[in-house]
Amino acid sequence: MFKKSFVAALLSIILAVMAGTSAFAEEPKSPEVEKALVKVEHTNAKIYDEVEKTQVKAQALYEKYLENLNKEQDAAKQEQLIAEYNKDIDALIAKLDEKTQNMTRKGVEKATEAGLTVEVKWVTYRFADREALIDPMVVISW
């Protein structure tokens, strides 16, 4: 009995997929749309590259901070190191955020002009001991 219901369910799923396949067919893209899609991917690749560079810098800054903090015995100097590190890492992340938002804004404008519907998707990235939201683009439709 179980086999019959399993086969019936499987056949139903296969038929539904076959019938619905044409509904998901991709409409042809114009050369302008193709160009815009490539530009969106190129912009996102630049954003990911900038994120990666900043992650490496943040990790180096964090390791240096921990090394200096472990060497220092004076509490006042430790507080100064902590404050300095916080200022430096926050500035590093803020610079990246500003740069990527600018890249995304320009990319969205160009993509919209070309007829794409894009959305900014915030993604959480880790920078040493911090997390930050960075905004690559996602193409919704054209």
pTM of the model: 0.75
81-108 pLDDT per residue, tens = 999 999 999 999 999 999 999 999 999 9
27-65 pLDDT per residue, tens = 656 788 888 899 999 999 999 999 999 999 999 999 999
The token pair that represents 54 in the structure block: 């900043």
Residue 81 to residue 2: CA distance in whole angstroms: 68
Cross-strand pairs, 137: 120
